[in-house]
Amino acid sequence: MINSKELISYTKNLSILFVEDHDELRENTTEILSNFFKIVLSARNGEEALSIYQDYHSENDVYIDIILSDLQMPIIDGVELTKLIYDINPSQTVIILSAYDEAKYLLPLINLGIEQFIKKPIDYQELLKVLLSASKKISLPALDTTVDLSTKIQLSSTSIFNKETSSLMDGSKNIYLTKYEIIFLQLLSTNIGKIYSNEDIVTNYISKNENIDAQNIRKLVSKLRKKLPLESIESIYGIGYKIIPFQG
């Protein structure tokens, strides 16, 4: 369960815009968000959201920190809204709510660079977990520049995965990795923040003359998580996996 105090420590100075065409869901969720964020705005569709987003910037000279938007909406849907927002502010943090959990429905958003998805109906603990992750990225300083990100991925204050040597170190302790675990970590470390689908992962193993299927990927991730710092690997439901570097 998410620690509310921890979440508030990152969100208390942030703004969020919630876009949802279902009135009751929009009102109830807006009320919940008001317990955590300094500024909570809401819109009924993408057109209204875009207007609010632009007006907020004109009035405050800063952009809204987080956009939390439904996928299916009238007038302007979540995909088109995301495109329009990214045209204005390419670094905008956007989280998408969707009743769909298959990659084929979400592929247009993945191609736009969306990394965070929440399945509907909303599990509010899952929502708060995703908001915590997003808020940390906004609020915390950049990664320690003493770590060479070209070859090393810092996973905690003491844990580092070295892509060049395929080693995982926790302080001075070497953590044993199997060949399959190394291949998996090497792939996720190729492009930090990118979501790798099961198809991407299977294709990568085949290129290395190894075989793995979706069920065994889940087993592999489950075992690997026991060796890594908490939340180093994020599962995006129905889409894939990505690695989460340490952020201080």
Q: Would you state the structure tokens that stand for residue 177, as one six-digit string? A: 């990795």
Residue 144 is predicted with a pLDDT of 40
Query: In the chain, which residues fall in CATH 1.10.10.10?
Result: 152-243
What is the rounded distance in angstroms from the CA atom of residue 32 to the CA atom of residue 154?
34
Exposure string of 86-110, with b = 16+ CB inside 10 Å and e = fewer, is: eeeeeebbbbbbbeeeebeebeebb
Our measurement of the distance from residue 23's CA atom to the centroid of its chain's CA atoms, rounded to an integer in Å, reads 26
What's the pLDDT score for residue 125? 87
Residue extent(s) of CATH 3.40.50.2300 domains in the chain: 4-139
Return the residue matching tokens 């439901």.
237
**Residues 6+ away with beta carbon under 8 Å from 192:** 149, 153, 243, 245
18, β-bridge pairs: 42, 68
Instruction: Give me the pLDDT at residue 3, please.
Output: 73
Q: Per-residue pLDDT tens for 126-172? A: 888 889 888 887 876 433 444 444 688 889 889 999 988 889 998 88
* Residue where the block lists tokens 């979440």: 7
The sign of the CA dihedral 170, 171, 173, 174 is: positive
Question: What is 4-139's CATH topology?
Answer: Rossmann fold (3.40.50)
Fold of 152-243: Arc Repressor Mutant, subunit A (1.10.10)
pLDDT tens-digit map of 176-190? 999 999 999 999 988
Could you give the CA distance from residue 111 to residue 109 in angstroms, rounded to a whole number? Answer: 5
The first and second tokens of residue 230, run together, are 């908490």
pTM beyond cutoff 0.75: no
Percent pLDDT > 90 in the chain is 39
Rounded distance, CA 93 to CA 14, Å? 12
Task: Give the mean model confidence (pLDDT) for residues 208-229.
Answer: 90
